[in-house]
C-alpha cells in the first residue's frame, strides 16, 4: 500500500535518476578525504590534478575543486547524456573560478590522451565492466601511463559472502527507497547482473534505473592485474567498525581485512 504523500515529495514521474543516484550511492566528501589521506600516508605531499574515469554525474569532480583555489580535475566518460547533466550541475553549483578548473571529456578511457595527472580515480566499481583480464590489464596500463612519476591510482572494490547471492537490499532515503538488486550471479564465469531500482511514497517505481553487467573481480585478482600492469605496489584501505560492528568511516591500510557478509574497500596502486 502506498504511504500518504507529503506535498513536494518526488514520484517516478518527477524524479531525476541522476540526482537519485548521487543521493543514494555517492559520498564525494568521503572520497576526497580518502584521496588526501592516501597521499599524506603514501607520498607525503598533496595532489593537485586528478582524473576521474567513468566520472558520471561529476560529484567527486565538483567536490575536488571546492577544496581550494588550485585543485583541477578532468572527468572522462562515454555517456553524453550524463555528461550533459553533469555540466548543467557544474554550471549551477560552482563558482566561475571552480568551473574553470573542471574539464569533462566524452571519450574512451582506454585511449584518452591527457596531460599527466597526480591521481586517477576509478570508483563505483565501474571498471568491473571490463570482463576479460586482458581488457582490465590494458585499462590499468593506460592509467599508469597517464600518471606522473609519483602518481597514485585509487579504485574501489566490493565483496563478502552476500556478493555471491542473488538478493535485494533496500535502503530508505529521504523521500524514496533505493534498491540494490543482485539479479544474476554466475559462479562459473564470475559474471553478475545488478540493477538499481527506486520506489516512491505514492507507490510508483523506476525499475532498472541503472543496469550493471559486470565481471565480479576479487581483490587478489585486481591486485595481480595492477602489478602486471607495472604498478610498483598496491595497498588496500579497509574500513574500521564501531561497537555495533558497523562501518565507522575510518580507513586504514590493512593486509587481513574481515570475512564479513559485505564490504567495500579501496585500493591504492603506486606508479
Q: What are the CB-based long-range contacts (under 8 Å, 24+) for 254-258?
A: 257/219
For the chain, which domains are there?
Answer: 20-158+218-270 (3.40.50.150), 161-214 (no CATH)
C-beta atoms surrounding 156 within 10 Å: 18
pLDDT of residue 249: 85
7 pLDDT band (50/70/90 cuts)? low
CB-based burial label for 151 (10 Å; 0-12, 13-18, 19+): buried
Q: Tell me the pLDDT tens digit for each residue of 129-173.
A: 999 999 999 999 999 999 999 999 999 999 999 999 999 999 999
Question: Would the CA dihedral through 218, 140, 32, 123 be positive or negative?
Answer: negative
Amino acid at each position: 500500500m502506498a504511504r500518504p504523500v507529503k506535498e513536494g515529495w518526488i514520484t517516478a514521474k518527477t524524479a531525476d535518476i541522476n540526482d537519485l543516484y548521487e543521493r543514494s550511492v555517492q559520498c564525494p566528501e568521503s572520497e576526497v578525504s580518502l584521496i588526501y589521506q592516501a597521499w599524506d600516508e603514501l607520498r607525503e605531499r598533496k595532489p593537485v590534478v586528478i582524473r576521474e574515469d567513468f566520472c558520471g554525474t561529476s560529484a567527486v569532480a565538483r567536490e575536488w575543486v571546492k577544496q581550494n583555489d588550485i585543485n583541477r580535475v578532468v572527468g572522462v566518460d562515454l555517456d553524453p547524456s550524463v555528461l550533459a547533466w553533469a555540466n548543467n550541475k557544474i554550471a549551477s553549483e560552482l563558482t566561475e573560478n571552480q568551473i574553470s578548473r573542471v574539464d569533462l571529456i566524452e571519450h574512451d578511457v582506454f585511449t584518452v590522451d591527457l596531460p599527466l595527472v597526480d591521481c586517477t580515480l576509478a570508483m563505483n566499481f565501474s571498471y568491473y565492466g571490463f570482463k576479460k583480464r586482458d581488457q582490465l590489464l590494458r585499462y590499468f596500463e593506460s592509467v599508469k601511463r597517464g600518471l606522473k612519476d609519483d602518481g597514485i591510482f585509487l579504485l574501489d572494490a566490493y565483496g563478502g559472502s552476500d556478493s555471491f547471492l542473488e538478493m535485494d537490499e533496500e535502503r530508505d532515503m529521504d523521500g524514496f527507497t533505493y534498491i540494490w538488486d543482485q539479479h544474476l550471479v554466475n559462479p562459473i564465469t564470475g559474471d553478475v547482473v545488478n540493477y538499481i531500482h527506486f520506489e516512491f511514497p505514492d507507490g510508483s517505481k523506476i525499475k532498472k534505473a541503472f543496469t550493471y553487467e559486470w565481471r565480479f573481480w576479487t581483490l587478489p585478482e585486481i591486485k595481480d592485474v595492477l602489478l602486471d600492469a607495472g604498478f610498483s605496489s598496491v595497498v588496500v584501505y579497509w574500513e574500521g567498525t564501531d561497537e555495533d560492528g558497523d562501518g565507522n568511516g575510518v580507513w586504514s591500510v590493512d593486509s587481513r581485512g574481515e570475512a564479513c557478509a559485505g564490504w567495500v574497500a579501496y585500493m591504492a596502486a603506486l606508479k
